[in-house]
Amino acid sequence: MRLVLALLACVVLRGQQPETLSYGVEWRFVRAGEVQLKYTGDRQSDLTLKSVGLVSSFLKVDDTYRAQYDQGWCATSLNLEAHEGKRNRETKVTFDRARKRSSYLEKDMTSGATVLAKEMEIPACVHEPSGGLQRMRHLKLAAGAATELPVSDGKRLAMVKVEAQGVETVKTPMGEFRAMKYEAFMFNGVIYARKGRLFVWVTEDEKRLPVQIRVQLPFYVGNMTLQLEKVQ
């Protein structure tokens, strides 16, 4: 769940107007969680993820993620508070664009102990993982075309490939949409070491809504699919 939160926080951000998108999360054919993503219009995004139903009975998740940006979606900071079962972690990353360095600090919120502290060099403009993905709402790539974006989570830095794979019809609780399917190659040692694939379906209309998001993980973990349920 924590990984999903970090990946998806800003996928929905597209312009200067405030916007809130609500998603339902399906995992192993059951409703596993709810995600709300909010853009306030002041270059800040806020995301919450909570487990629900059967999943919440054996793993209670209550995560929050906040990211801030300069013009052009160049990251300046992110803060993640992850409460997952007995695990309580806070991660703070500062992206110093002038010094071209990032500072990463992860702490155990229960004990106060530092889990990981790290600094690294970055480009003058870099996207944190989710802020980079939101660019999909602006890309408008033709099927088969691809581009690369500089992405860092404070621990790793990579040029992440984003590929448009074709237009599909997607059925969601909000209705049926024609949407371009994109894949962002962030797993398999690029930004995240684990094996997996990330897909985002963005509508072909002027709203460019990310109506479906899927994290495809190994069979012993299972896929997670988010579908858009409400736009405010």
Per-residue pLDDT of 6-44, as tens digits, reads: 555 444 444 446 788 999 999 988 999 999 988 776 788
pLDDT score recorded for residue 3: 57
Question: So what's the pLDDT on residue 13?
Answer: 42
Q: CB 217: neighbour CB atoms within 10 A?
A: 19
- What CATH number should be reported for the domain whose range is 2-231? 2.50.20
Burial (CB count <10 Å: 0-12, 13-18, 19+), residue 164: buried
Q: Indicate whether 4 pLDDT > 70.
A: no
Task: List, for residues 186-221, the tens digit of each pLDDT value.
Answer: 999 999 889 999 999 999 998 889 999 999 999 888
What is the spatial distance between Cα 209 and Cα 130, in angstroms, rounded to a whole number? 15
The alpha carbons of the chain give a radius of gyration, in whole angstroms, of: 17
> H or E element: which one contains 196?
none
Output the average pLDDT for the chain: 88
Query: What is the structure's pLDDT at 199?
Result: 95
Residue 168 pLDDT: 98
Q: Average the pLDDT over 74-90 and give the result.
A: 94
- pLDDT for 79: 95
pLDDT at 157 over 80: yes
Please say if the pLDDT value at position 50 is more than 70.
yes
Residues 6+ apart with CB under 8 A from 13: 19, 37, 39, 45, 73, 131, 134, 137
